[in-house]
Amino acid sequence: MKLFIDSADPKEIARLAATGLIDGVTTNPSLAAKNGMDYVDALKEICASVSGPVSAEVLALDTAGMLAEAKVFARIANNIAIKVPLTWDGLAACRALRADGMMVNVTLCFSPVQAMMAAKAGATFISPFIGRLDDAGQVGMDLIREIRAIYDNYNFDTQILAASVRGIPHVRESALAGADVATIPVDVFRALLNHPLTDKGLAAFLADAKKAGIRIRDE
């Protein structure tokens, strides 16, 4: 499963990109507002540190407006993916952008049928929001499973991008359900390697080595 970072903060993203384990980035207007930088400037910096797809979300609600904003984003870097909402206008923009060779991430997906429509419009990525469904009392992961089944039934090559990830269980379950990508907030990404037995085991190995005076001798 590919791992994207869900953030619009270029500095945080650059630090995580240094792990060599970041496959892309997703941003949205709320993340951009939280970061406080000019959105286009932030995207420029992000694209300089990550070579995989970087999603930039349009603000227009009509197809023509979305395409005009997409042109601005497209000038930033070759790895920009245009993020459009799951509306009729959004899907029309998706078709046009795909015909022009752009990557498109269709966002705000909350149902399997919406995901099927996005795939028919040629979306590169579909973003089901699992955390927001959980918040609303549904089982977000069921949506990932149902989209996987539909896409496999018809060989749609749209990649399932698990979004609105709230914690490590979402990452684990997305991988088990066959999501192609999970986009992960910075704090969750940093916690991916955490396990108390790893810490305990490492401390015991080092204590035993110290007690026995073991050194790694360079001959």
- List residues near ligand E4P by CB under 6 A: 6, 26, 28, 107, 127, 129, 131-132, 163-164, 183
CB 36 within 8 A of CB 215: no
Shortest Å distance, C-beta 184 to ligand E4P: 9
Shortest Å distance, C-beta 88 to ligand E4P: 20
Q: Which is nearer to ligand E4P, 119 or 181 (CB)?
A: 181
Q: Which is nearer to ligand E4P, 132 or 190 (CB)?
A: 132
Q: Inter-axis angle of helices 63-74 and 39-49, to 10 degrees? A: 50
Task: State the catalytic residue, choosing from 2, 44, 71, 83.
Answer: 83
Shortest Å distance, C-beta 183 to ligand E4P: 5
Q: Which two tokens stand for residue 34?
A: 């939280």
DSSP string for 140-169: HHHHHHHHHHHHHHHT--PEEEEBS--SHH
Q: Is 44 exposed, middle or buried (0-12, 13-18, 19+ CB in 10 A)?
A: middle
Q: Which is nearer to ligand E4P, 7 or 63 (CB)?
A: 7
Q: Which is nearer to ligand E4P, 24 or 112 (CB)?
A: 24
Distance between CA atoms of 81 and 219, rounded to whole angstroms?
51
Shortest Å distance, C-beta 4 to ligand E4P: 8
DSSP for residue 129:
B
User: What HEC string does 67-81 produce?
Assistant: HHHHHHHHCCCCCEE
Q: Which is nearer to ligand E4P, 122 or 185 (CB)?
A: 185
In angstroms, what CA-CA distances link 93 with 30, 51, 69, 129, 187? Answer: 22, 24, 11, 21, 33
H or E element, residue 193: none
Catalytic annotation present for 210: no
Indicate which residues carry an active-site annotation. 83
